[in-house]
């Protein structure tokens, strides 16, 4: 059931450029040349590469159990029950909506249907038909349409615009069913970006999100894309948006990590120079993310996303003990940036993990002194 890692890449943080991982050995300042073997990595209690879970950044057993049940039985009711019990402002609700929509989209892609075959994701269509007033089902349907637009068509084409307009309409219907739920508005942020909405229109939509969930990390990540250079804004606008959000973030909020995501969005396509990752801008963004990770609730659904991105930057900055600390928290799950942008997320994660272990040991570290 290879599901969640792809859908997070498509919606939460889509189309980000990942520096070439496989050129690391030939670049100056990339740390120890000799990478550890599997036995040395295993000595730290890390999960073997072939057993890394690419579906999620961290564990959500309730979600995985329900997804397994829905896909096995094609009965939507467990999904409806799980969403009904997930608070509207909780980050987990948005991620679970993404998960169910992504599962339906992937099923449809694998089984598009035909004369003698029922199309994949039929359980979502039944959900909408049998419970048209179910806010959870409406939100999942809107997200499903947005994902379909990004997955199956090219931005700017007629097909893309048609599907995205349908997604926006579905967002409006979902919002009417649950006025206080920010999720339909967050989904609409993706549609607005894809449809190149004028800034005043996007800013009005963003205010609708803030009215409902002013410190929602997922919403800020979705909005950040609009201000990025490759979409409608610039590097300066993206940084300003991220730094403003971080500055007004309450203690314990992961919004303090948003500038690191803005830096990642604007990484050069290939940059393996150590000094870049030790520059003032990157160092300040890393420190904000480290503070956010330290003060956030351990069960915050977005915390694993921050830790994975921190691992990427800390390894490239050769801050080995701190990189190992992040590994101790996230090892085993790799469904997060930047690994999901690789053709083989587990291999991309394992490569950085090996670099962290090699650098840590070269500096005198050992399994007995593993942080955390």
Among 22-36, 234-248, 283-297, whose mean pLDDT is lowest? 22-36
Checking 18-24 for CB contacts under 8 A at 24+ apart, the result is: 18/267, 18/338, 18/341, 18/342, 19/267, 19/268, 19/269, 19/270, 19/271, 19/272, 20/269, 20/270, 20/272, 21/342, 21/348, 21/351, 21/352, 22/351, 23/270, 23/272, 24/272, 24/351, 24/355
Strand partners, 114: 117
Residue 367 has pLDDT above 90, yes or no: no
Whether the ω angle into residue 338 lies within 30 degrees of 0, i.e. cis, is: yes
Strand partners, 53: 333
One-letter-per-residue 3-state SS of the chain: CCCHHHHHHHHHCCCCCCCCHHHHHHCCCCCCCCCCCHHHHHCCCCCCHHHCECCCCCCCHHHHHHHHHHHHHCCCHHHHHHHHCCCCCCHHHHHHHHHHHHHHHHHHHHCCCECCECCCCHHHHHHHHHCCCCHHHHHHHHHHHHHHHHHHCCCCCHHHHHHHHHHHHHHHHHHHHCCCCCHHHHHHHHHHHHCCCCHHHHHHHHHHHHHHCCCCHHHHHHHHHHHCCCCCCCHHHHHHHHHHHHHCCCCCCHHHHHHHHHHHHCCCCCCCCHHHHCCHHHHHHHHHHHHHHHHCCCCCCCHHHHHHHHHHHHHHCCCHHHHHHHHHHHCCECCCCCHHHCCCHHHHHHHHHHHHHHHHHHCCCCHHHCCC
pLDDT number for residue 31 = 46
pLDDT number for residue 3 = 39
User: pLDDT higher for 31 or 36?
Assistant: 36
CATH topology for the 61-214 domain: 1.25.40
pTM for this one?
A: 0.85
**Residue 118 — pLDDT band, cuts 50, 70, 90?**
confident
For the chain, what is the mean pLDDT?
86
**Residue 319 — pLDDT band, cuts 50, 70, 90?**
very high
Range(s) within the chain of domains with CATH label 1.25.40? 61-214
* Residue 179 burial (C-beta neighbours within 10 Å; 0-12, 13-18, 19+): exposed
pLDDT number for residue 101 = 93
**Residue 365 — pLDDT band, cuts 50, 70, 90?**
confident
Residue 261 has pLDDT above 60, yes or no: yes
Query: pLDDT tens digits, residue range 269-299?
Result: 555 566 888 889 999 999 999 999 999 999 9
* CB-based contact 260:285 (threshold 8 Å): yes
Output the CA–CA distances (angstroms, integers) from residue 222 to 8, 15, 18, 321, 362, in the order listed. 11, 12, 18, 31, 39
**Residue 6 — pLDDT band, cuts 50, 70, 90?**
very low
Separation of alpha carbons 245 and 188, rounded Å: 20
Among 138-147, 217-226, 272-281, whose mean pLDDT is lowest? 272-281
């Amino acid at each position: 059931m290879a599901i969640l890692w792809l859908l997070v890449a498509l919606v939460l943080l889509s189309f980000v450029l990942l520096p070439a991982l496989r050129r690391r050995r030939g670049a100056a300042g990339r740390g120890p040349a000799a990478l550890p073997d599997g036995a040395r990595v295993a000595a730290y209690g890390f999960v073997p590469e072939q057993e890394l879970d690419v579906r999620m950044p961290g564990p959500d057993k309730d979600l995985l159990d329900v997804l397994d049940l829905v896909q096995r039985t094609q009965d939507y009711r467990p999904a409806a029950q799980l969403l009904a019990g997930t608070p509207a402002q909780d980050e987990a609700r948005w991620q679970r909506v993404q998960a169910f929509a992504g599962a339906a989209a992937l099923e449809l892609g694998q089984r598009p249907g035909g004369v003698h075959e029922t199309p994949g994701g039929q359980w979502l269509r039944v959900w909408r038909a049998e419970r048209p007033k179910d806010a959870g089902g409406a939100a999942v349907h809107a997200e499903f349409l947005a994902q379909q637009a990004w997955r199956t068509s090219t931005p700017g084409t007629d097909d893309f615009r048609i599907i995205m307009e349908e997604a926006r309409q579905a967002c409006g219907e979902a919002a009417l069913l649950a006025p206080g739920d920010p999720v339909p508005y967050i989904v609409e942020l993706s549609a607005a970006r894809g449809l190149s909405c004028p800034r005043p229109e996007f800013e009005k939509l963003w205010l609708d999100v803030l009215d409902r969930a002013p410190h929602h990390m997922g919403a800020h990540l979705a909005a950040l894309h609009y201000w990025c250079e490759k979409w409608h804004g610039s590097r300066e606008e993206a940084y300003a948006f991220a730094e403003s959000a971080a500055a007004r973030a309450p203690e314990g909020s992961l919004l303090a990590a948003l500038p690191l995501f803005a830096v990642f969005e604007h990484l050069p396509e290939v940059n393996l120079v150590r000094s870049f990752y030790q520059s003032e801008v990157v160092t300040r963004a890393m420190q904000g993310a480290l503070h956010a990770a330290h003060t956030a609730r351990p069960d915050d659904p977005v915390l694993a996303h921050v830790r994975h991105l921190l691992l990427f930057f800390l390894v490239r900055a050769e801050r080995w003990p701190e990189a190992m600390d992040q590994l101790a928290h996230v090892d085993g799950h790799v469904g997060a940036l930047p690994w999901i942008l690789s053709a083989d997320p587990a291999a991309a994660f394992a490569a950085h993990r090996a670099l962290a272990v090699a650098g840590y040991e070269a500096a005198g570290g050992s399994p007995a002194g593993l942080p955390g």
